[in-house]
Amino acid sequence: MHPTALDQTDPLADFDAREITLDGSSKRVHVAGSGPAVIVMTEMPGISPHVARFSRWVRDAGFTVYMPSLFGRDGVVATAEEGLQVMQRACVSAEFRAFANKQGPNQASPVTLWLRALARLAHSECPGPGVGAIGMCFTGNFALTMMLEPSMLAPVLSQPSLPFDDPAGLEIGPDDLAAVQQRLRREDLSVLAYRFEGDRYCKAERFAAYSAALGDRFVARVLPDTAANKAGLSPFFEKVVASPHSVVTAHLIDEAGQPTVAARDEILAFFRQRLQSSAQTGSGPVGDGLGVAQTSRAPRS
């Protein structure tokens, strides 16, 4: 399924690299598959072989994957130094709101406007009732803001890490949050979210804040640190991330029965339920029994 080893550069040859211009801004988007659209937003420090592997899992589950290049070098395994430089550049980029104290509390990153436009485009190009999206780490919060786009039906927040300087920050403005709250209730939709218990970047305070804001529409999964992969991590994850963090990529243990695999499978089932079901009725919170530690109102600290 994966064309190269995860510790080697992935040429992404099985993706169609498209230059897509929306709202006057162009980005490279790697597209593959068929079926309803799912937008996979990369974690730091860019589209790594692990991120590409997750996108292939989504593709092979019957979806068209749109994987935009938002930072870093596509397909490479970044060194610790390169990854840190990519993160530092993104932190000062006008496209992102990485720090609440410098850029104002609870404001969405401007790049989410472009991503909402991408969701509209993807919906127009693909079958199905709407679009799914997953953000990870630096982009982890973005799928929630993308719910302002009516075509978005299945948002997943994996280790949402912004703003870095406010563990309880939500990375969405109050008016936008109110609009998302109303839509979730009106259309009987929910938001899936994942983190490791000891994550340095996505702490319990953030999930508690989301739970307070969204109630049982926010379905949180908190995995024990012992469920995180520790073998063969890249230098960036060893030296910079330095904690269990990436639930469906670098820290996923690809073995049957592992909590991270259960999380991946739950995400794929969530996309199927929302985007492939013939009934397309609202589902509220997702069911239990998937082997993932979970809460919906009071995440573990």
**142 pLDDT higher than 50:** yes
Q: pTM of the predicted model, to two decimals?
A: 0.92
pLDDT value of position 295 = 46
Share of the chain above pLDDT 70, in %: 89
Residue 177 resides in a domain: yes
pLDDT tens digits for range 29-41: 999 999 999 999 9
279's CB contacts (< 8 A; 6+ apart) are none
Is residue 24 pLDDT above 70, yes or no? Answer: yes
pLDDT value at residue 107:
83
Residue 159 lies in a domain: yes
- Using an 8 Å Cβ cutoff, are 183 and 162 in contact? no
Domain membership of residue 8 (yes or no) is no
The pLDDT tens digits for 220-276 are 999 999 999 999 999 999 999 999 999 999 999 999 999 999 999 999 999 999 999
In a domain, 79, yes or no: yes
pLDDT confidence of residue 103: 57
Give the Å distances, CA to CA, from 61 to 14, 94, 134, 191, 251.
16, 35, 15, 20, 21
CATH of the domain at 42: 3.40.50.1820
**DSSP code, position 74:** T
pLDDT confidence of 3, banded at 50, 70, 90? low
| Total tally of structural domains belonging to the chain | 1
End-to-end CA distance of the chain, in Å?
37
Q: Cite the DSSP H helix spans in the chain.
A: 49-60, 80-92, 100-103, 111-125, 142-145, 174-186, 204-214, 235-236, 259-275
Asked if residue 99 is part of any domain, the answer here is yes
Which residue reads 């009071």 in tokens? 298
- The boundaries of the domain holding residue 150 are 16-279+286-295
Within a domain: residue 1? no
Q: How many helices (H) and strands (E) does the chain have?
A: 9, 9
